[in-house]
Each structure stands twice: as structure tokens, then as C-alpha cells.
């Protein structure tokens, strides 16, 4: 997409352009992970995180009746680190691994190349459309997937609703403006009363599409969606839009295409949205609670036993980053969406 002088586009289109434009989009040209990148995700902090997800996935598969054939899909696999550790863990459970179609859903050609290098000789399939998946039981894992999807924002003023737009004076000079909107049309389009009892609304229409499509697949073919993301549970929505560059907060409208733009998930919205679809159940907890319930502290103790002092310090420092309340422990939430009949609640 070309940026013209005085171009006015909705916020979500601007974010999509910044992150996923084929030529200059952030995720299309850059590996954002690690010390040299802009942020570090849980799988890259400690392999213990991915090991806990592996244990959870095998247990959840058993709750589905251990189907002989099922899909395991990682949504947005980053640099491939989580899938690598998942497969290494699954190799200890051959009956599970033999039943499993290992799948990565990824939009970025650059990240696909990085993932393929890391997962060399592993039987992983890459897909560009979720709708093309085999219609069999499917387990979806979304670690920091939904927060990287473009959002819309709306503000209520004197009883009227306005949508946030970005106005380009030129390629390097952009600023926010607002345009009046008809909220009835928006609610009809998404088939959900999102503006009810709100003064500010922030949501991703594409994110809700993913949520709806995956929920329909779970209803029809059984399975579940495990979401690990940073977010909040308040009924009242708030402005959580932010940009990150080199591990520090940045201006969203500066350095377009070179900063990561993200937001915090409103898990109450996800809960309400999936509830209206019927026959689905949500479980929700903090990352701290989930990982401790899964036995991450015992696993850390086990692997640190024969290590030297410095290695032990490193293991526990990384563990602290994952579960400490001042770090990722309570900022990140874990949500499971599954069929109502499935009473599985390990980790919750």
C-alpha cells in the first residue's frame, strides 16, 4: 500500500500496514525476538515454559479421548522456539506424536524461514489459511498471537461515538484524528453488542474473526484453544495501544514499520464473545497460577540439581520472570476455550 499525502485510514488499517505490509511491514522484514530484537517472549526466556505447554497439550489430548488423528496448530510461532521444545517433549510420548499433525499458522515469510531452519527435519506443516485444516479434532495454541493483531478504537463524546483514524500529512508525518461512526452498523457486522455499557471501545475485528472461526471448528470437530497473552479482565474497556522498540516503549506514529505495535487483550470480551456462540466453555487464570499448577517449580528444581551455582541462578532467574507478579506472572493470562461437555481443567 502506498502512503499518499493527506491519507486518512482507520487505526486498524494503519497497524496492519505497519506490521504486515509486504515491503516495509515490521513482521515481514525483521526478526523481533531476543536481545538483538525488540522483545522476548516466554518460550525464549526459558524452555520450562514450553515444556509445561507440552505436558498440558498431552493431557488435554487425553481428555478428548486420545484421538488417533488430530491437529496441533501453533498460531504465529515466532522464531519457532516453542514448537521445537514441544516436539522434543512429545518424542517421549510416541503414541501422541504419531497421532499428531504438527502445524504452524504464520503470515510472515521471513519468520517462516527462521522457523524452518530451527525445525529442520521435523514433520511440521505450514499453513496460510486456518479454513484449510483437516476437519478432525484440533488443539490450537496461541502464545502472544492475538496481541499482535490490528485493533480499532472508538471514543464516546456527548452521546456520540467516534472512531480513531490516522492522518498522514506525508510519509513521515502522521497524527490521530476522529470520525463519527454509526455503532449499530458495526454491531450488526460483528453480530455482537460491543458498545453496550462502554465509554471507550478497543477490539480487533480480525481477532474476533479468528476467535469465531476457531470456536466453530472446536464445536464441530472437538478440541480447544489455549490463549496465553497479556491482558486484563475488566468489563470496562480501556486504551491499551502501545509500541515497542529495542525493549522500550516507543511512539506509535514514529519510525513506522520499524516498531512493534501491540495491545492488551480484554479477556472479558473474549469470554462474552465465545459464550454467545453456545456449547463452549471458558477457563481463565493467570500465567503464574497456570505454570505453578503445571509443576514448573518442581521441574526447575529437578533440572537444577546437578548444575553449578551460576547455572542454578540462571534457571531460577528465568523462572522468576515467568511467574513473578511484578513481571509476567499476573500481567499475562491463560484462557482455554473448549466444548462444554469437556470438564478438563488442568492448570486452571
Query: Does 180 reside within a domain?
Result: no
Query: What does DSSP say about strands 70-75 and 100-105: parallel, antiparallel, or unpaired?
Result: parallel
Residue 347 located in a structural domain: no
Number of domain units in the chain: 1
Specify the 3-state DSSP secondary structure of 144. Answer: coil
Q: What are phi and psi of 132, to 5 degrees?
A: -85, -5
pLDDT value of residue 254: 87
Confidence band, pLDDT 50/70/90 cuts, at residue 38: low
Cα–Cα nearest to 96, from 119, 75, 69: 69
Tell me the whole-structure pTM to 2 decimals.
Answer: 0.94
Closest CA to 101 of 118, 122, 79, 85: 122
Let me know if residue 162 belongs to a domain: no
Tell me the pLDDT of the chain averaged across its residues: 93
280: CATH: 3.40.50.12710
Q: 309-328, pLDDT tens digit by residue?
A: 999 999 999 999 999 999 99
Q: Is residue 77 part of a domain?
A: yes
pLDDT at 255 over 90: no
Quick one: 92 exposed, middle or buried, by C-beta within 10 A (0-12, 13-18, 19+)? exposed
- Domain presence at residue 305: yes
Give the model's pLDDT for residue 3.
Answer: 63
Q: Does residue 63 lie within any of the structural domains?
A: yes
Domain of residue 323: give its range.
34-150+203-239+256-339
Q: Could you tell me the pLDDT band of residue 2, with boundaries at 50, 70 and 90? A: low
Whether the CB-CB separation of 244 and 186 falls below 8 Å is answered with no
Residues 315 and 296: their CA atoms lie apart, in Å, by 11
State the pLDDT at residue 154. Answer: 98
Is residue 291 in a domain?
A: yes
What's the gap between Cα 243 and its chain centre? 16
Evaluate if residue 24 carries a pLDDT over 60.
Answer: yes
Where does 171-284 have alpha helices with state H?
A: 183-190, 205-221, 267-275
pLDDT of 84 strictly over 90: yes
Residue 194 is assigned to a structural domain of this protein:
no
Q: What is the pLDDT of residue 36?
A: 66
Amino acid at each position: 500500500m502506498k502512503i499518499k499525502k493527506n491519507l486518512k485510514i482507520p487505526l486498524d488499517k494503519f497497524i496492519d500496514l505497519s506490521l504486515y505490509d509486504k515491503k516495509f511491514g515490521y513482521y515481514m522484514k525483521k526478526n523481533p525476538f531476543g536481545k538483538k530484537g525488540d522483545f522476548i517472549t516466554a518460550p525464549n526466556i526459558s524452555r520450562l515454559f514450553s515444556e509445561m505447554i507440552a505436558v498440558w497439550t498431552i493431557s488435554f489430548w487425553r481428555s478428548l479421548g486420545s484421538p488417533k488423528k488430530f491437529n496441533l496448530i501453533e498460531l504465529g510461532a515466532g522464531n519457532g522456539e516453542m514448537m521445537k521444545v514441544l516436539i522434543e517433549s512429545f518424542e517421549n510420548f510416541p503414541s501422541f506424536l504419531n497421532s499428531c499433525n504438527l502445524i504452524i499458522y504464520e503470515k510472515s515469510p521471513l519468520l517462516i524461514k527462521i522457523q524452518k531452519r530451527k525445525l529442520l527435519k521435523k514433520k511440521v506443516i505450514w499453513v496460510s489459511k486456518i479454513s484449510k485444516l483437516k476437519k478432525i479434532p484440533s488443539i490450537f495454541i496461541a502464545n502472544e498471537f492475538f496481541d499482535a493483531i490490528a485493533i480499532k478504537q472508538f471514543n464516546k463524546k456527548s452521546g456520540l461515538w467516534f472512531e480513531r483514524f490516522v492522518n498522514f500529512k506525508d510519509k513521515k508525518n502522521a497524527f490521530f484524528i476522529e470520525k463519527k461512526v454509526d455503532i449499530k452498523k458495526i454491531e450488526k457486522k460483528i453480530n455482537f453488542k460491543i458498545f453496550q455499557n462502554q465509554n471507550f471501545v478497543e477490539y480487533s475485528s480480525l481477532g474476533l474473526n479468528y476467535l469465531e472461526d476457531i470456536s466453530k471448528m472446536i464445536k464441530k470437530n472437538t478440541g480447544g484453544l489455549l490463549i496465553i497473552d497479556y491482558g486484563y479482565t475488566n468489563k470496562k474497556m480501556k486504551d491499551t495501544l502501545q509500541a515497542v522498540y529495542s525493549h522500550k516503549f516507543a511512539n506509535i506514529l514514529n519510525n513506522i514499520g520499524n516498531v512493534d505495535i501491540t495491545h492488551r487483550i480484554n479477556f472479558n470480551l473474549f469470554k462474552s464473545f465465545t459464550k454467545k456462540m453456545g456449547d463452549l466453555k471458558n477457563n481463565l487464570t493467570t500465567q503464574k497460577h497456570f505454570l505453578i499448577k503445571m509443576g514448573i517449580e518442581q521441574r526447575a528444581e529437578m533440572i537444577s540439581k546437578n548444575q553449578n551455582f551460576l547455572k542454578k541462578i540462571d534457571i531460577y532467574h528465568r523462572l522468576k520472570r515467568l511467574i513473578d507478579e511484578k513481571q509476567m506472572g499476573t500481567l499475562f493470562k491463560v484462557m482455554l476455550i473448549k466444548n462444554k461437555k469437556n470438564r478438563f481443567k488442568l492448570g486452571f
